Amino acid sequence: MIQNTKQIKNALISISNTTGIIDFAKSLVSKNIKLFATSGTAKLLKKNNINVIKIAHYTQCPEIMNSRIKTLHHKIYASILAQPEKDKKIIKKNNIILMDMIIVNFYPFSTNLQNKNLIFKNAMENIDIGGPSMVRAAAKNYKNVLVIVKPKLYSFIVQEMTKNNNIITNKTKLNFATIALKYVMHYDEKIYHYFKKKNNTTSINPFQKTLPTHLTLQLIKKQDLYYGENKLEQAAWYTTDQNKNYGKLNIQQLQGKTLSYNNLLDIYSSLSCIQEFKEFTCVILKHGNPCGISTSSNNYNAYLLAYETDPISAFGGTIAFNTILDEKTTQTILEKQFLEIILAPEFTHEAKKALNKKPNLRVIQYLKNYNYSYYHIDIKSIYGDFLIQNNIQNTIKTKKWKIVSKKIPTLKEIHDAKFALKVVKHLKSNAVVFVKNKTTITIGSGQTSRIDAIKIAINKTNNSLSLKNTILASDAFFPFKDSIELISNKKISCIIQPGGSIQDKKIIHSVNQHKISMIFTKSRYFKH
């Protein structure tokens, strides 16, 4: 049933994107619809033998100020905003022609910004004024005016008018008005981000003390993902950057299957962890948790040592490096294990050739010097509400550390303790990690009690791997001394933890009894 019986008689066209407009305009003329257009659009239509009236002839006002003012005229907005039944006298007195349809799209602001030589003054000329104003006016008066902002919608309108004798339903008009307002919102957001960049400000400053009272996020779909957290769930990758081909997660997929939701989470976790290290380092990660990390003299050794931490968990995981990946290391990885994703800032030509033999393997290249943690704002959805936190990757400040044990850790133990903290802060809580020579020996994570995390880490060694002289790092304080008692017979040399438990005195007494050194960091690294 058609809700609106008003036929389309007059259409105003003012466009920058001319895709499909010639065929659409011809269809409108064939349906006896009178066309009005701004000078540039009118020139294009006339060139294609389409009857059109310049909008300046209707307003009796020329386009002025280097075309900055073309549609900013009261007769145009009266044509769009008029309510025929209420405004009959005004319409007649001022010779207002009612526009039943407006076809408008804006100056390509974001496209022009891709020109690196574009100066600020010229960028300002790409800000459309009249177009967004007309779209807002038409959306406000959607029952009387159809607004079209996207060429791909032309064919739908032609079909509906052909079917309904030039009548467009209110349902369609409301739908198109909604699309148009979203189009305006995206356009304004691009301009805002440009100004913000020029002004050297950020909408969310990760280093500000308080989160903003009002927060606006403009998300642009970057790509559909293979599947969500589970295969029956849909997922997509969105970015806040105005150029969706760039975004804050600045990575390039060189080969492999389409990324999934879980793949991106693993990539994010891998990058967050690998950027902690400056020397040759390999991070092996599974389901968001590092399961083996090593810093060594080269990538080959770093991978072998990281792999030995937990070969079982490494199966089907993600491997990340912080330096260029060579052929020897690549071949060894492919021979030793199955993996889903491999990341590096660069790959040698020979390494790429070796990886090409595994076409389904997702190969990701990232910017080595890109500060991924700067944009680390966490947003979680809970039944329509949102939890937002300013989750900065805390710098490890050794000056705040306090040695609380009688036994003083050696310089080597302090270096290993710092390495262990860099690992444990990326593990799901409750978490512990045992480290020796800047290599993880065993890891326990994602447990509801700290002692269970320790038990799992110890059990992973199958009693075949010595924990003697290892460093134990914990993401939060030890609530009881039972954990200390458990590890005392393993000859652990040093423990590093935040401290702050009401049981601290008992725990310090326990490590002193067992001749273990202990460092309090005063920083907790819970990760849920």
- The alpha carbon of 406 is separated from its chain's Cα centroid by a whole number of angstroms, namely 48
Identify whether the C-beta of residue 244 lies closer than 8 Å to the C-beta of residue 224: no
- The alpha carbon of 323 is separated from its chain's Cα centroid by a whole number of angstroms, namely 24
3-state secondary structure 228-292: CCCCCCCCEEEECCCCCCCCCCCEEEEECCCCCHHHHHHHHHHHHHHCCCCCCEEEEEECCEEEE
Look up 74 and say whether it is catalytic.
no
Amino acid at 352: K
Instruction: Return the pLDDT at 373.
Output: 56
SS3 percent helix, strand, coil of the chain, rounded to 5, is 40, 20, 40
- Phi and psi, residue 474, nearest 5°: -125, 140
Find out whether the peptide bond into 430 is cis, omega within 30 degrees of 0: yes
- Catalytic residue, chosen from 26, 244, 287, 490, is 287
Look up 214 and say whether it is catalytic.
no
**Residue-by-residue pLDDT tens, the chain, 528 positions:** 445 668 899 999 999 899 999 999 999 999 999 999 988 899 999 999 999 999 888 888 777 777 777 778 888 898 899 988 888 888 888 888 999 999 998 877 655 555 555 555 566 767 778 888 999 999 999 999 999 999 999 999 999 999 999 999 999 999 999 999 999 988 888 777 777 777 655 455 554 556 667 677 777 787 888 878 777 778 887 876 655 545 567 788 999 998 888 888 899 889 988 988 989 999 999 998 899 999 999 999 999 999 999 999 999 999 999 999 999 999 999 999 999 999 999 999 999 999 999 999 999 999 877 665 545 667 788 887 878 776 655 667 778 899 999 999 999 999 999 999 999 988 888 889 999 999 999 998 888 888 898 888 888 886 667 888 899 998 888 888 888 888 888 888 999 988 988 888 998 999 899 999 999 998 888 877
Instruction: Return the pLDDT at 490.
Output: 86
Helix 349-356 vs helix 327-336: crossing angle, to nearest 10: 20
End-to-end Cα, the chain, rounded Å: 53
Q: 84: which 2 tokens?
A: 């025929």
- Phi and psi, residue 281, nearest 5°: -140, 145
Q: Which of 74, 139, 144 is nearest to 104 (CA)?
A: 139
Instruction: Return the pLDDT at 344.
Output: 95
Q: What DSSP string describes 167-233?
A: B--HHHHHHHHHHHHHHHHHHHHHHHHHHHHHTT--SS-TTSSS--SS-----EEEEE-S--SSTTS
- Catalytic residue, chosen from 140, 352, 368, 376, is 140
Contacts of 276 (CB under 8 A, 6+ apart): 393, 422, 426
As a dihedral over the C-alpha atoms of residue 299, residue 304, residue 305, residue 311, rounded to 10 degrees, the angle is 140
- Give the predicted TM-score (pTM) of the model: 0.65
Identify whether the C-beta of residue 135 lies closer than 8 Å to the C-beta of residue 149: yes
Other CB atoms within 10 A of residue 57 CB: 11
Q: What DSSP string describes 307-323?
A: HHH-HHHHTTEEEEESS
Strand 494-497 and strand 517-520: pairing?
parallel
CA atoms within 13 A on the CB side of 286: 19
Contacts of 352 (CB under 8 A, 6+ apart): 254, 363
Instruction: Return the pLDDT at 1.
Output: 43
